Structure 1
Amino acid sequence: MNLNSKIEMQNSRSSSEICYENFMIFNSQRAGFTIVELMVTLVILAITLGAVYTTFIAQQRSFVTQDQITESQTESKIAFNILTKDLRNAGFAYPVYSNPPTFSGSVVPSENNNAGRDALTLVSGSQQVATLAQPLIIGQNIISITYTGSARFNLTDMANISIDGIDFSVITTCSFIGIGTDCDDNFVLTLNRGMNKPIPAGRPLYALTASTYCIVTDVTDTDNYLDLRRIAGIATLASCSGALPADVERVAENIEDIQFAYAIDSDADGLVDDQNANGVFDPGDYLTPPLPANSKILAVRVSILATTGKDDPSIEPSTKPYYSSGITLENNITDVSNDKQRRNIWSMEVALRNPR
């Protein structure tokens, strides 16, 4: 190896060593983050996480609120439809010439407080229980029947009977099924009077029954929700409960108020009385009880106030006028100043198909 080759090798090694040393110096200067950089990164991360959390909480609250609103609207609308349907059916098979025992009409304002919730009792024979097993002749008061479902006649709340929807009587005696109180269709039923017209076999027999709508606080619920109840049978209005063998059914919860107003005919001309004397039938022709004696109810305006039952934190009461003045339905004001609940109102005027 000549001298020139040795010099070139030394120069080559020296260049490599110099490059390596420079590389190590460069990387030692860029090996990590400064404290300032780490703090800035953490601040950005915290802001991002805070924004994500805030968005999540807002979306969660919005979802809960919308879920409560939807549930309240759906449940109250179903209850409202049930009530208005029963109103339309009121008076079906109800005798025209006289009131059946224990009944004073097909639509009875049961409770109408100027400073409280209303209640209403509806009477109809819309429930078919049986059919005639044998034809009836004029004057006959003993009938044979065949039950068509699970319902049974008895001598208490199922004793008022409508035959084919055109004649009415009351069951006075029957043979019971076993040791119970239901009438046995294997034996004849005795009625309190004879039939006014002949009726062929196979015609339907209806039970004339009462249903009372009222509101009560559900003490079995920890939140003390207000329930709209339908009581089939004899109702105790003070407690919105039923006397046995009445069937008590919860139609909807979180119903704060129910109110009724009535369009009446007090002069027997078949027309609604013009209460405001303007010559037309309008909302001003509805009255709240007490109603004039011997007046016939031709139409009912029914209104219910439903609530979500839970507060909505996003509501600011000062922006809602009714939070200070209350919500008025007919002659009752509901105080809503102590909560942030959302509410909706259903209202309808229902013309009776069978006014009695």
Structure 2
Amino acid sequence: MKKNNLFSCNGFTLIELLIAMAITGIVSAAIFTAFQSQQKSYIIQDDVTVMQQNLRAGMDMMVREIRMAGYNPQNIGGLGILNVCPRDINNNIDITMTGNGAIQISTDFDDNGVLGGNETISFSICDSPILTPDGNPDLARNSGGGRQMLAENIEALGFAYAYDTDSDGNLDTSPNGNVIWAVDSDGDNDLDINLDTDDDGDIDAADGPGAGNNGIVNGTAIADVAVNDIRAVRIWMLARADRRDNKYFNTRTYVVGHKVITPNDNFRRRLLTTTVKCRNLGL
């Protein structure tokens, strides 16, 4: 006759249960740690992707419009690069050069021989929204209706200008034969210093106060150059991630036009640089 196992004492012992719980806890902890690591990695990559998209979109818009500066099929006069004064985040002219580069251009986009209200355009750094700033700098564009955000989290913006003062069709060069990239250092809208202090053909930290210091590229004084002699524009844009990464410490040195920046913080950044030949300005 078969025994009734209803009241059998066979089963798991306390030790077996404890071992099973310990193994389950270890596996669960490993899974959670892996998930957490992947989640953080995803967030970082998402931030970097957004940062790079903002950077490229902002640069693309600026390049296309600056390249058209001075487009003037009807010969109405007065079109081109209008203003190159450095500006602070409130768009005031900054004679200390602690602010960012800025540019204003005009062009007859619609070929009608009249400079319309939206055909004078400027680019600068702002804190958007203008009326309720959030403390994060952004790239702004103004085509007559006030400054509007073009790209988020653009921490620094720099411009330098190459010119042709003798109208020979060639960019002016330094004693060493390098193209002179100049800026306005005193807010009078004339170019007056060459950013390539050591005349080695590069604008880098060696031209400024040195790596590890936030400051201004020293520059070499030149005779004042009017904006209507400008033929090419060099642009720097420094973008910053939206969130800190506490496992990352940024000690890189970035040269952004006339500024040398070493952040020493937990934000990831990307620097994009390009040169625009203004094909409507006689080059």
Per the normalisation by structure 1, the TM-score is 0.59
Does the CA contact (< 8 Å) of 1:107 and 1:297 recur in 2?
A: no
Change (3 A) 1:61 1:49: same
Structure 2 residue identity aligned to 1:260: F
Change (3 A) 1:110 1:95: farther
Q: 2:138 aligns with which of 227, 231, 255?
A: 227
* Aligned pairs for 1:85-234 within 5 A: 85-93=64-72, 99=78, 105-111=80-86, 114-127=97-110, 161=114, 209-218=119-128, 223-233=134-144
**How far did 1:226 drift?**
1.2
Q: 2:165 aligns with which of 259, 266, 269?
A: 266
Does the CA contact (< 8 Å) of 1:263 and 1:272 recur in 2?
A: yes
**How far did 1:99 drift?**
2.8
**How far did 1:33 drift?**
1.8
Q: Secondary structure at the match of 1:47?
A: helix
Does the CA contact (< 8 Å) of 1:120 and 1:214 recur in 2?
A: yes
Does the CA contact (< 8 Å) of 1:91 and 1:354 recur in 2?
A: yes
Per-residue CA deviations over 1:144-192 (Å, capped at 9, x if unaligned) read xxxxxxxxxxxxxxxx716xxxxxxxxxxxxxxxxxxxxxxxxxxxxxx
Q: 2:256 aligns with which of 315, 329, 338?
A: 329
Q: How many residues align?
A: 234
CA distance in structure 2 between the aligned counterparts of 1:126 and 1:48, rounded to whole angstroms: 64
Per-residue CA deviations over 1:291-334 (Å, capped at 9, x if unaligned) read 1234611111011001112112331x2xx541xxx422122123
Structure 1 residue identity aligned to 2:124: C
Q: 2:180 aligns with which of 281, 285, 304?
A: 285
CA distance in structure 2 between the aligned counterparts of 1:272 and 1:287, rounded to whole angstroms: 12
- Which structure dedicates a bigger proportion of its chain to strand? 1
Aligned residue for 1:354? 280
* Aligned pairs for 1:287-302 within 5 A: 287-289=182-184, 290-291=190-191, 292-294=224-226, 296-302=229-235
CA distance in structure 2 between the aligned counterparts of 1:274 and 1:231, rounded to whole angstroms: 33
Does the CA contact (< 8 Å) of 1:276 and 1:285 recur in 2?
A: no
CA distance in structure 1 between the aligned counterparts of 2:133 and 2:42, rounded to whole angstroms: 23
**How far did 1:37 drift?**
1.3
Does the CA contact (< 8 Å) of 2:81 and 2:230 recur in 1?
A: no
Aligned residue for 1:7? none
- Which structure dedicates a bigger proportion of its chain to helix? 1
Per the normalisation by structure 2, the TM-score is 0.73
Does the CA contact (< 8 Å) of 1:308 and 1:343 recur in 2?
A: yes
Tell me the C-alpha RMSD between the 2 structures.
2.9
Q: 1:310 aligns with which of 243, 263, 268?
A: 243
**How far did 1:255 drift?**
0.3
Structure 2 residue identity aligned to 1:46: G
Which structure 1 residue ranges, 5 or more long, are not aligned? 1-15, 131-159, 163-205, 234-245
Structure 2 residue identity aligned to 1:314: K
Change (3 A) 1:209 1:345: same
Which structure 2 residue ranges, 5 or more long, are not aligned? 88-95, 185-189, 192-223
CA distance in structure 2 between the aligned counterparts of 1:107 and 1:275, rounded to whole angstroms: 25
**How far did 1:56 drift?**
1.0
**How far did 1:266 drift?**
1.6
